[in-house]
Structure 1
């Protein structure tokens, strides 16, 4: 880095005084070789940083992905975003970019200043004062722009997440004319981001302009100072120009740091967010492999709240289900049925109590090992980018026989064959858009893939037509024959005949549970008599008939809990 300065000194000091072209040629060759070496080292440095940043991404990407997934799971989907992966990408780009090299060059500043002192003490003091002033400007830049940029980044993340959620519900927004209203709300967020970013950019531009202008001014003043010292015979003519060049080289890293401070602030925020999310990711202990489950489920004193809430939804319930049993769960809305389903699958951790599968706490099972033995159909069915076969096979290696078997059991095989490419039909944004009923039936096939031992179906017939209902009833009948344990959450009564047991939930507790016929009899007994309005009596009649009925039990959700 000092090569141009010393080359200039030698040219003015030796070549100009001696007039030796041989000396000039040798100095030029040496200078050229050293600069080529410098360029090679900088190229190697760039390659090293690119590989370091790539290695960082390789090492952390899976951990960050898992941590993001866990955060989304723990927040009930409220904090579902790829921001952490975007942060990792931004940090990798900063490490492989030119902005970081200014920090590598900054430690050379004391060496440059020492050489300036060797030229002349006045040169050294000017360089020291200039460096201190630029460092002060860098500190001012941090104070003026750091908090504003951090707030702008936070607002930008919120606006992006808000937009993503809106785009997921584009059909609802369009059908009910909500676009303009929601766009106005997004616009207010976006204006806040732009205002903060503009404020930070204005401040950074002011400091950067002052820094650059000051550096040019000081370089010019050093030329004047050098000329004065040369006239006074305190330095040679070569030091006049060499001092100016060296000072510019010394102050350039600080100037670059100030100019790239916005990128540094962003990288620092990204590092902090990544550090926070990875610190919360606890290392999973090695779990002992358990034998394949048979499907015996036991729930003990279970209390469950939604992620981020302390208010229980499930309130201290206990029950047991033997392997191979089909249990229907009914009850009014918001009674805790879907929450119970999530707890049974181990998706939501309980506040208290335990869910046991074959005697082992459901949380003690390794999810990768347990996954093939369980099936889950949530209320909101999401199919992923890929083929129908890949979705049914849960994006593991596609076993054609198992895929077709699951589709046949779910009664969806013929429907899939009618798709453009059958099982190879691509679904999602790049492919075929399926109806709600089609998604639900393919989701059912995915839940049944591999003959799992524990299956939970949450409103499996909410989007089905009559054909789909018949296919669902047939699927439940086949599953009973395989000995799988099945929980079916439903509001419809057309599959009640397929159930072995029935559970009625109200306000987070079990009001009735037992054999199907016994529970239905209890529900019928609890319904109050319904008095039909009396018909006008014919003229001359002396008695008005009144009939009562106890109902047929088809609408059990209004029944009161038994004592």
Structure 2
């Protein structure tokens, strides 16, 4: 795979290649020093005991002690290297994984909004720092240990080969019979976690309508499935793990018996009796350890696969030449849009032009596509066909980070983030007190904020106070107009406002108009229409009427009059905008 086709995860792992090689290099000396106790036992039995040499025993023991201290130091070093590797992976990948998770949530319209990818990265890092991974570095030393056993005696060598084959077969069956169940259990667990997150996010709705028991029952179905799959895998894996450990213990005992026989027949010296059993245990330990930690390895492999898929879909945005600050001229050409994950288009062949500085009201019945158009105007949902142009440039061609300060958006569902009110208004950038207060004054929320416990420093969210729907909406409006953006989209900005809030919104629109910003307002309330320059009437994803406010209102009034004469309305625009028609031209 060429570097141009590598995703960020593969690039990050390649950047850590040197560290993995260092761990392998240290593992070389670790496993070489693991032979020291074996040869120490041989020397004590073959030299010290027959000669009764205390000085030799002391010297050999001193050498062994130094080697064991070196062994412990090397194991500590390689474990620290893996900790550094895991931290480096987090530094290299966390922002990309966060961005990929965000784009995934955006592309699915929030239906797949979870931190699963970040959790996968954390779990993968934890696996890299665990002892199970070192078994994979130590396993290649099995042939070296086997060769040493052949040097002791051919029977020792063949006993090692036979025992290793048995454990490898057990490892294969462990993978075959538990891998699929563990993978499916992991997937079911992710689904259950995602469902739980969504339920907790809507706790008030669930509590108010007594839906808790029903939703808990649905969650329990996923949870039981996870438990069944995990239990099946654990039962099978437990049997194989028990067989593996029992066999390794039995093999070491048989090695003792074999060594005793060879000592009796004078084919080996007594020192090799214990050395053979000890070295066999060391040779088989990595395989046995891999079987024991297979569950963690399977989970890490699944997590790697999910991360790899997520980052494969993260297309790096190309470097774009900086464009001049936008003025707000909007041109929509043959626009066709379907919500993320949907096949049927909601917006169909829509085209219109809005000069900079205009305030446009978008009206129409429910499911007419108004909110979809709002997202398209801001470049949130990409079109299936057609183009939305801002000052002549495709909205998708702008650098999102540089364009963001020039856009303002107030969605139907107001979400303020945990932090102070000033942080929220300033969009969590550097707080400019003058701009924050100016935005709050324009939105008519300055006085309300001052009445809160700590004014602009009042913390909202789980660690602070909870605001009413109207308060959140007005602060959200201040956030949308912070920094005098050139294009502002307000989706039902007065849905939670009382009469005082309505008046404040009308004043805010007048002040925004004076700045020359282009504003699109989606609203069902006729009280806001007097502030509009243009009105767009939508029905079934198309524009049925668009033009100057007075002209559209007059035409709608005529349609309404004709509809009343016929008793039953026939024009879709008339039924869509009865409230609009009730406003007199020039009001």
Normalising by structure 1, what TM-score? 0.95
1:115-514 matched pairs, under 5 angstroms: 115-514=148-547
CA contact (8 A) 2:557 2:581 kept: no
Structure ID, larger Rg? 1
1:521 counterpart = 2:545: no
Are residues 239 and 173 of structure 1, via their aligned partners in 2, closer, same or farther at CA, if it must alter by over 3 Å? same
**Deviations 1:92-127 (CA, angstroms, capped at 9, x unpaired):** 000011111111111111111001100000000010
CA contact (8 A) 1:331 1:557 kept: no
**Deviations 1:260-318 (CA, angstroms, capped at 9, x unpaired):** 00000000000010011111111211011011000101001100001112211000010
Distance 2:215 2:360 in 1: 42
CA contact (8 A) 2:127 2:296 kept: yes
**Deviations 1:182-239 (CA, angstroms, capped at 9, x unpaired):** 1111111111111111111111111100000000000000000000000000001010
**Deviations 1:157-197 (CA, angstroms, capped at 9, x unpaired):** 00000011011111111111111111111111111111111
SS in 2 for 1:494: helix
Distance 1:332 1:35 in 2: 79
SS in 2 for 1:45: helix
CA contact (8 A) 1:493 1:554 kept: no
**Deviations 1:228-251 (CA, angstroms, capped at 9, x unpaired):** 000000001010000000000000
Q: Find the counterpart in structure 1 of residue 579 from structure 2.
A: 555
**Deviations 1:31-67 (CA, angstroms, capped at 9, x unpaired):** 1111111111111101100001110110001111111
Post-superposition offset of 1:511: 0.1
Post-superposition offset of 1:556: 4.8
1:111 counterpart = 2:144: yes
* Runs of 4+ in structure 1 over 3 Å off: 529-533
Q: Find the counterpart in structure 2 of residue 63 from structure 1.
A: 96
**Deviations 1:3-35 (CA, angstroms, capped at 9, x unpaired):** 000000000000001110111011011111111
SS in 2 for 1:503: strand
Distance 1:554 1:54 in 2: 61
Q: Find the counterpart in structure 1 of residue 38 from structure 2.
A: 5
Q: Find the counterpart in structure 1 of residue 564 from structure 2.
A: 530
User: Larger % of helix: which?
Assistant: 2
Q: Find the counterpart in structure 1 of residue 24 from structure 2.
A: none
Distance 1:511 1:120 in 2: 93
SS in 1 for 2:111: coil
Normalising by structure 2, what TM-score? 0.91
Q: Find the counterpart in structure 1 of residue 109 from structure 2.
A: 76
CA contact (8 A) 1:332 1:557 kept: no
Of 30, 45, 50, the residue aligned with 1:17 is 50
Distance 2:172 2:416 in 1: 51
Q: Any unmatched runs of 5+ in structure 1?
A: 534-549, 559-563
CA contact (8 A) 2:536 2:543 kept: yes
SS in 2 for 1:222: helix
**Deviations 1:326-349 (CA, angstroms, capped at 9, x unpaired):** 000000000000000000000000
Distance 1:181 1:381 in 2: 28
Q: Find the counterpart in structure 2 of residue 545 from structure 1.
A: none
**Deviations 1:501-554 (CA, angstroms, capped at 9, x unpaired):** 000000000000000000011111111353699xxxxxxxxxxxxxxxx99x75
Q: Any unmatched runs of 5+ in structure 2?
A: 1-33, 568-573, 583-587
